[in-house]
Amino acid sequence: MTFWNARWGTGVTATSGSTAFSLSRELAPIELYTAASRVVAWIDTAGQRVTDLLNNQDEIRLWQPTVPQEGTVTPPSDPGADNGEWQSLVADQIVLAMPPEWRTNRQLRIHRKLRRVAIDVGQFSVTGNAHVPFGTEPGPWMLDRGRRFLPLTDVHILHRGEPPFEHVVSIVIVNTARVSRLVPLFTLA
């Protein structure tokens, strides 16, 4: 008797034609902050975590990126339409990335300790949960481990520049090259 696992099954792997086009168009909204602006766009993750995309690529492809002005809302057009509005953004320009919340399959999750940290990055103060390996504590080593981007969960963001604002989001990805301070915080749990 052979044990069959759904993850080992043969999925649709078309590489050409309309099937390949429809498979490659799983767009998700993303909000990015650079040193100079806020960018709202759609991103094709191709089933990968946005943190992995940022750490493994020098630039990311964005569909219909817009730089909304303060107080205006720019509704994105249909993400399924293919009208050639793709642009690239150099990953090193990103200070913070706020991808959509994405829960992975329980069997694929990497289980780690959650430790609260405070980070200063550019004009932002970010407080969130770092997912650290068991047996370690958060500290400056998190910025020097060869990864360019660090994800945090259950995050509070304070923008100290103009205009000042606050965000509470489920996940933020921080550019480690732009971090000026990382402080572990004590948790009661």
Q: How many CB atoms lie within 10 A of CB 44?
A: 18
The pLDDT of residue 165 is 92
pLDDT digits (tens, 9 = 90+) for 49-77: 888 889 899 999 999 999 887 554 444 55
Are 80 and 110 found together in one domain?
no
The residue out of 98, 130, 152 marking a domain boundary is: 98
pLDDT digits (tens, 9 = 90+) for 99-110: 987 666 665 556
The pLDDT of residue 101 is 75
Are 89 and 116 found together in one domain?
no
Are 93 and 114 found together in one domain?
no
Query: Which amino acid appears at position 107 of this protein?
Result: Q
Are 53 and 110 found together in one domain?
no
Tokens in use for 126?
């970010």
Geometric angle at alpha carbon 49, from 120 and 146, rounded to 5°: 55
In angstroms, the CA 57 to CA 63 distance is: 17
Looking at per-residue pLDDT, the higher value among 96 and 186 belongs to: 96
Q: Is 148 inside any structural domain?
A: yes
> Number of folded domains in the chain?
2
Residue the block writes with tokens 């732009």:
178
Are 63 and 81 found together in one domain?
yes
Are 110 and 94 found together in one domain?
no
The residue out of 98, 119, 145 marking a domain boundary is: 98
Length of the chain equals 189
DSSP SS3 for 137: coil
Q: What phi and psi values does residue 70 have, to the nearest 5 degrees?
A: -55, 130
Average pLDDT on 33-46 reads: 91
Q: Is 156 inside any structural domain?
A: yes
Are 150 and 172 found together in one domain?
yes
Q: How many CB atoms lie within 10 A of CB 148?
A: 19
Query: Given its phi and psi angles, is residue 122 left (phi above 0), alpha (psi -120 to 50 degrees) or beta?
Result: left
Q: Is 189 inside any structural domain?
A: no
Helical H segments across the chain, by residue range: 17-23, 50-56
Q: Is 5 inside any structural domain?
A: no
The residue out of 77, 98, 119 marking a domain boundary is: 98
Containing structural domain, residue 68: 22-98
Tokens in use for 189?
């749990």
pLDDT digits (tens, 9 = 90+) for 152-169: 999 999 999 888 899 999
Q: Is 12 inside any structural domain?
A: no
The pLDDT of residue 26 is 75
Q: How many CB atoms lie within 10 A of CB 94?
A: 22
